[in-house]
Amino acid sequence: MKTLIIALFTLLIATSANAARYDITANVGEIRFHGSTQSTAGSHWNGVVWISLENPDKNPSCVKYRNKYAVAVAKGDDSALSIALMAKASNSKILMTIDDSKKMDGDVTCLLQYITLL
């Protein structure tokens, strides 16, 4: 029993040690919205927006789509989407904060924590 507890504790520490917070400066690439009632990507994507990062200054442990990091925006987070659209339209950079241990439910895509228009 003692060995099992030590093994579980070691696994917990190893998992949390791999998680990292990234403050990434990049340009906005693609902005994709999955329909709120149907998505060929699976129902967990219904109503979700993701943003790809062009020329990021850091390389997080997040999934790539078309060879660019993709970051999911929580459902209903219209402010983050507005900032991403402004940055895309003006070709401005953004500062995006992610924690690679926080993924979208039912997926491996990193979730947006903060976004700043630079």
- CATH number for the domain harbouring residue 90: 2.40.50
Q: Is there a domain that residue 15 lies in?
A: no
**45 inside domain:** yes
pLDDT, position 18? 60
For residue 109, give its domain range: 20-117
Q: What is the DSSP string of the chain?
A: -HHHHHHHHHHHHHHHHH--EEEEEEEEEEEEE--SS--TT-GGGTT-EEEEEES-SS--S--EETTEEEEEE-TT-HHHHHHHHHHHHHT-EEEEEEEEEEE-TTS-PEEEEEEEE-
Instruction: Render pLDDT for 36-87 as a digit per residue (tens, 0 to 9).
Output: 776 666 667 777 889 999 999 999 888 888 899 999 998 888 999 999 999 9
pLDDT number for residue 87? 96
Residue pointed to by tokens 């219209």: 78
Q: Which amino acid is at 1?
A: M
Residue 31 has pLDDT above 90, yes or no: yes
